[in-house]
Structure 1
């Protein structure tokens, strides 16, 4: 499965990057391709490309605050959760997506 997403916490520092790391490790462990953009204190990093968005099967928004560019995902399957959920249960989230979001 091709997974893309955005991680963004209120402060835009620690939880943003921890969520990205947890999602990446959990998805790769289960054999998925994943690319997570971060939006935070220092701006946008690892910005998703139009091609990544086009070929994605699902979008994970691990966010605790408003994000920029949400409209890029029009027509895509979106799963939105808090960064806290991702930090504590990234593996369960990926499993849930596998079971409930058909690519």
Structure 2
């Protein structure tokens, strides 16, 4: 099974962070992808990803409009980066595009 981890973060750390998280989870599950999303919002880091979860993932999705806290945890991983608005408007397309990125990597 394909596995994604991700981080969502918006400038204010409020609504967009959590709406993006919800959409990533919803559409990943719809596509049969195991997913865990870390929210970096106004309450700090929530649902923090472990290094093992990051290492085991096929792809990392950053749905962010600001800097990712502790970004170095992801240094060895392939990252698919989009803005929170893209995920809110069309989360299904973001997940499908991320899946294509994984397929292309496995094909090479």
Q: 1:13-92 residue pairs with structure 2 within 5 A?
A: 13-92=14-93
Gaps of 5+ in 2: none
Q: Which runs of 4+ in 1 moved over 4 A?
A: none
Gaps of 5+ in 1: none
Per-residue deviation, residues 29-87 of structure 1 (Å, max 9, x unmatched): 00000000011111000000111011000000000011211111112110110000000
- In structure 1, what is the Cα distance between the partners aligned to 2:98 and 2:69? 24
Q: 1:92-103 residue pairs with structure 2 within 5 A?
A: 92-102=93-103, 103=106
- In structure 1, what is the Cα distance between the partners aligned to 2:14 and 2:89? 17
- In structure 1, what is the Cα distance between the partners aligned to 2:99 and 2:75? 21
> What is the root-mean-square deviation in Å for CA atoms of aligned residues?
0.9
Instruction: State the aligned residue count.
Output: 103
* Segment of structure 1 superposing worse, 7-16 or 88-97: 88-97
